[in-house]
Amino acid sequence: MTSSIPTREVLIFGGAGFVGSNLAHHLLSTTDENIHIFDNLSRRKVEHNVQWLQKLAKGTGRLKVTVADVRDANAVTKAVYAASEIYHFAAQVAVTTSLEDPRADFEVNAGGTLNILEAARKSGNRPFILFTSSNKVYGHLGEQTGSSGVSEVQPLDFCSPYGCSKGAADQYVQDYARTFGIPTVVFRMSCIAGPRQFGNEDQGWVAHFAYSALQRKPLYIYGDGHQIRDVLAVQDLVRAFTSAHENRANTAGQVYNVGGGKSNTISLLELIEMLERDLRVRLKYLFCPARAGDQPIYVTDFTKFAQHTGWMPERNVLKTVRDICAWYKQNASLFAAAPFVLPGATQPDLLWEIAS
């Protein structure tokens, strides 16, 4: 007897990246859903994430990969047409890059998001859409974030071009729920960390610190090193995604602050001390001037999301750091210089297309 429940068609924009590949792996491993990854492969080393997913899906016909850019409205429309569920992670992710090229930052983050929303509206399918925004939409914040952290009632303050572009996208996603009845959810996220993160000092700082310790490389500390963040393990974030979808009767049209919360806060210098203790190494670091747009303290108050879904973080910072280090040790060859090879090019049994 065949099931009467239709197969979910899950589309992940930015699906080759750190967060997207972890979500795709979870869905391929624990569900029967068809997964469509849409990514321009511009992020350093993400082709390895695609190869990892292709091995998992080999012979199932459940994984499709489209190499294209969210700025290409035609490619986006084609990808969205059959989707019943969309996760939008494709983005320009660094404040520093937005300062160097504000137009490109806007075109990717704001323009790309509008392309996805318009494609979803015109499809007539009303797909569930989850968009990952940023805590940078709250601006500088200063030293005070409240005893419980930053909640969704915190006034928006779009500091930096990156904050403006993500904030504009954030507002558009919310409005498409209000105006067009599309079930959208916005996650304003803090620091996400975990395996498969090719971290650098602009984005993915926890992994960057861990890899620097493992490689015995010096670090640059921008500011005094006392900046505080709450860290959320990517495994817990993936659980938050599934919780948002499973509870979409409550979450549709909502915006949530999602992060590790008060119990998972750490400063830059405290992370260095943790790595030195756990890895038994001595890290060298140099202090540099603070960078524009850096928040002195950011701690997430995720009370609203917990109330709507029952979700809570499960992994602490030490466990997350150990997960990163273990993955690095198992995949050290990925960090060696190697020529780029387009994944899937010699694997005809896998669905692969390059949008033109």
Residues with a catalytic annotation lie at 162
The secondary structure of the chain, three-state, reads CCCCCCCCEEEEECCCCHHHHHHHHHHHHHCCCEEEEEECCCCCCHHHHHHHHHHHHCCCCCEEEEECCCCCHHHHHHHHCCCCEEEECCCCCCHHHHHHCHHHHHHHHHHHHHHHHHHHHHHCCCCEEEEEEEHHHHCCCCCCCCCCCECCCCCCCCCHHHHHHHHHHHHHHHHHHHHHCCCEEEEEECEEECCCCCCCCCCCHHHHHHHHHHCCCCEEEECCCCCEEEEEEHHHHHHHHHHHHHCHHHHCCEEEEECCCHHHEEEHHHHHHHHHHHHCCCCCEEEECCCCCCCCEECECCHHHHHHHCCCCCCCHHHHHHHHHHHHHHCHHHHCCCCCCCCCCCCCCCEEEECC
Q: Which two tokens stand for residue 323?
A: 């997960």
Q: Name beta bridge partners: 34.
A: 9
